[in-house]
Amino acid sequence: MKNLNGFTKAADLKAEYAKKCVPGAEAVKVVKSGDRVHIGQFGGVCRDLEAALAGRAGELEDVTLFSTNYSLPELYKTIEADPEGKAFKIVSTHMSHDDRIINKMGREWFMPILFHQGNKRWAELGEVNVAFVLTGPMDEHGNFNFGITNAEVNGVIRSADIVIVEANKQMPNCCGMENYVNLSDVDFVVEADYPLPELPVRDAGGADAIIADLIMPYIENGSCLQLGIGAMPNRVGQLIAESDLGDFSVHTEMLVDSFVDLYNEGKITGRKKTNPGKMIYTFAQGTKKLYDFLDNNPVCMNAPSDYVNNMNVIGSNDKMVSINSCLSMDIYGQIDSESVGHLHISGTGGQLDFVMGAYLSEGGKSFICTPSLKTKKDGSTESLVKPFLPEGSIVTCPRAAVDYVVTEYGVAHLRGMSTWERAEAIIGLAHPDYRDQLIKDAEKQGIWKNSSKLL
């Protein structure tokens, strides 16, 4: 585990930096067979160091790489360089498209974790041998800013025996708290210069657009916003920007382009927030517009996930509005946002953190949204409102925590409802073609209004 030293004396900075600055191929020589290497999270994955490590595929065995929602535009170089799977395997706390590909190969596993637990979990277990940390260039005080990804970085650094910084000249300098590492706590520095991965903004259509429209009447002036990933939350942001509503605050896990649009439209003031005037987030992913907005912007506050996703901190903001998507729900109100049966799709992330945080908020609301139907490759349809979650499905939000659920057929407020009331309300959100069968299923399960007896 890393023994943090404090700060490097100003007089020693230049010499210390020169001593620690090495090419990537040199830095990754510290990795040994059997090591556990954290390569970064989200848009903060160390691209050059991961590629340099791939060059050692023939020398290493059984190295575990840790990441979260790997977001580079290309597949892991380490996996491509190791087709037999002898050198590298992956563990992720939230799977991306590329992670799912490797999972299907049988070379990647998922680590269940609530996002607010990340720093504590890494720091206490001390299981990281080598940490790759993506930052901006060193400043005049010897500090490397974490840029767009704070999240669990501090916990990873504290856990690690060796810390290698990949200092990218194109990383925005993001204002915040606990968002830097000093040269004194870094073993090697690798200089880099490449654009950050961008997450294109998708336009919402069909059910997603209808769901966004249905949510809008529930959003009040002065609300504090958390918008999840995807076209539907982005559409909500667009609708707010076009509305007469205003005086919003931001406390969100992920900062996305729609928040920039809301700020530029004068919708975000932050006056009614626990941290007045601050847009709080723990990582950012979007386009260059977002990254340019973040650079040296004191309005934005990048903080660790154990602060941003702490349900009590979330709940301290009045009128907290949390909007997220799921993969399916059942008539009990259980939410699956992680898997389709046994097929793993994403991760737990911070969805439950914000559902609970919104519950604690005075006037808070959380919305879990899904289209009512999925169209399969053969053209047939499947209801995403189910009698019970299928075998292998993961319960991301337990029924007791869920507040509002939404499909294109309406909004149901589940808080305080009995099982039959929930079943009735949720069945009303299903596609009409599936409602009669869902009623029969509810009767069999003893949760329909006319009987609590199992058939």
Quote the pLDDT of residue 82: 96
The single-letter DSSP state of residue 73 is: S
Which listed residue (16, 152, 166, 253) is catalytic? 253
Mean pLDDT of 312-339: 96
Q: Which tens digits make up the pLDDT trace of 226-283?
A: 987 778 888 898 899 999 999 999 999 999 999 999 999 999 999 988 888 999 999 9
Residue 121 pLDDT grade (very low, low, confident, very high; cuts 50, 70, 90): confident
For the chain, list the domains and their CATH numbers. 19-192 (3.40.1080.10), 206-444 (3.40.1080.20)
Q: How far apart are CA 279 and CA 275, in angstroms?
A: 8
Q: How far apart are CA 237 and CA 239, in angstroms?
A: 5
Quote the pLDDT of residue 450: 78
Cα 94 to Cα 98, 111, 169, 455: the distances in Å are 11, 8, 27, 39
Q: How far apart are CA 259 and CA 275, in angstroms?
A: 17
Quote the pLDDT of residue 293: 98
Task: Report the length, in residues, of the chain.
Answer: 455
Mean pLDDT of 96-118: 92
Sheet holding 328-330, edge to edge: 335-336, 328-330, 385-386
Residue 204 pLDDT grade (very low, low, confident, very high; cuts 50, 70, 90): confident
Quote the pLDDT of residue 228: 75
| pLDDT of 361 strictly over 90 | yes
Mean pLDDT of 358-377: 95
The single-letter DSSP state of residue 12 is: G
Quote the pLDDT of residue 11: 67
Question: Is 253 marked active-site?
Answer: yes
| pLDDT of 216 strictly over 80 | yes
Residue 286 pLDDT grade (very low, low, confident, very high; cuts 50, 70, 90): very high
Cα 241 to Cα 123, 182, 234, 258, 369: the distances in Å are 40, 39, 11, 9, 21
| pLDDT of 321 strictly over 70 | yes
Q: Which of 387, 421, 382, 415 is nearest to 400 (CA)?
A: 415
- Computed over every residue of the chain, the mean pLDDT equals 94
Q: Which of 276, 361, 377, 346 is nearest to 316 (CA)?
A: 361
The single-letter DSSP state of residue 184 is: G
Residue 327 pLDDT grade (very low, low, confident, very high; cuts 50, 70, 90): very high
Mean pLDDT of 161-190: 97
Residue 7 pLDDT grade (very low, low, confident, very high; cuts 50, 70, 90): low
Q: How far apart are CA 409 and CA 425, in angstroms?
A: 11
> Which has the higher per-residue pLDDT, 117 or 293?
293
